[in-house]
Chain A
Amino acid sequence: MSVDIEFLKTIPYFQGLGLAELEAIKRFVFEKSFDANEFIVEEGDPGEALYFVVSGVVKAFKTSAEGKEQILRLIRPGESFNDVPVFDGEPNVASAAAMGPVVLYGIRKSDVGIILRDHPQVAANVVKVLAGRVRHFTSLVEDLSFRNVLGRVAKLLLEYAENGTGLERPHLTQQDMAAMIGTAREMVGRSLKALEEKGAIRIDRHRIVLTDKKALRETAGELL
């Protein structure tokens, strides 16, 4: 498959470029495919290329010392990843893996330098995209450091299970819970897993069973 100019136009890094500029950039773009769950880059590797998702979804994640995966962000078509190591020349800060079959466009690091030099509009776009990324991570950091998300999830579950009867309580998605306690969906997923490991809840397919209310109350702590 040859590189598609129409697709390049949809990439935020290439907004506002004319056809001639896109044609010039296209020469540097290569295509790569990955199967579900395949690693695309690994944390600590040198950043060799900047990637754009053409189809499918890629997850950027870090693995803790205990082997737990923390998803940092999901990268959907048009979005880029591996930008940080390509721009600053340091090793990869996170790993990236395909969540299903994935097609990517890549640009080698040295070619990214040429593109930034020859097309100032791209540099301006990069600043904008990275600023958006900083905002996303700032709110994640805020959640991690200033607020007790685990406690708030525990409190939500307790209040929810104790108020009203089954019929009048709408079922909640992880997205709903995130909106209710003012956090990101990733944080809710992580908290539910942690509560399950503690033995405070059991996730039974589409049912969250509160197995140890006392433990939940303790986790909710002074929030109750």
Chain B
Amino acid sequence: MAQMPEIIRELCNGCGLCITVCSCKGLVLIDNVAVVIETVECDYCTECEAVCPTGAIRCPYEIVVEEG
């Protein structure tokens, strides 16, 4: 499964800005709340997180040390 951005539903105000900047069609508004649809097209550009005015989208990173 591709890691996708996460939405904190309670923080989402339904403004739709994340959708306007996303190039992957991985975000939609359902009942005025942004919802993530898993897609391989999402390149984790994190622009949705950058534009969200309420901090409702998170693009978290795992931090690991290269083995070997």
A-B interaction? yes
Binding site for B on A (CB under 8 A): 36, 55-57, 74, 76-77, 99-102, 157, 160-162, 166, 169-176, 185, 189, 202-203, 205-211, 213
* B23 in the interface (beta carbon within 8 A): yes
The reply to whether B17 and A171 contact each other, CB–CB distance below 8 Å, is no
Query: What residues of chain A lie closer than 8 Å to B2, measured between beta carbons?
Result: 205
With A207-B64, A210-B63 in contact, do A56 and B17 touch (Cβ < 8 Å)?
yes
The reply to whether A210 and B66 contact each other, CB–CB distance below 8 Å, is yes
The reply to whether B50 and A185 contact each other, CB–CB distance below 8 Å, is yes
Could you tell me how many residues of chain B have their Cβ less than 8 Å away from some Cβ of chain A? Answer: 27
Choose among B15, B21, B61 the residue that contacts A77 (Cβ–Cβ < 8 A).
B15
The reply to whether B20 and A174 contact each other, CB–CB distance below 8 Å, is no
Query: What residues of chain A lie closer than 8 Å to B53, measured between beta carbons?
Result: 76
Closest B residue to A202 using CB positions: B66
Choose among B19, B20, B59, B64 the residue that contacts A173 (Cβ–Cβ < 8 A).
B59
Query: What residues of chain B lie closer than 8 Å to A210, measured between beta carbons?
Result: 63-66
The reply to whether A174 and B22 contact each other, CB–CB distance below 8 Å, is no
With A74-B50, A100-B22, A101-B20 in contact, do A206 and B62 touch (Cβ < 8 Å)?
yes
With A36-B23, A57-B17 in contact, do A173 and B49 touch (Cβ < 8 Å)?
yes
Query: What residues of chain A lie closer than 8 Å to B43, measured between beta carbons?
Result: 205
24 CB-based A-B contacts, threshold 8 Å: A57-B17, A57-B20, A57-B21, A76-B51, A77-B17, A99-B20, A100-B20, A100-B21, A100-B22, A102-B20, A157-B63, A161-B63, A162-B65, A169-B63, A173-B60, A174-B49, A205-B2, A206-B3, A206-B44, A207-B61, A207-B64, A208-B63, A209-B65, A210-B66
Query: What residues of chain B lie closer than 8 Å to A101, measured between beta carbons?
Result: 20
Query: What residues of chain B lie closer than 8 Å to A175, measured between beta carbons?
Result: 49, 55, 58
Within 1-40 of B, Cβ neighbours of A (below 8 Å) are at 2-3, 15, 17, 19-23
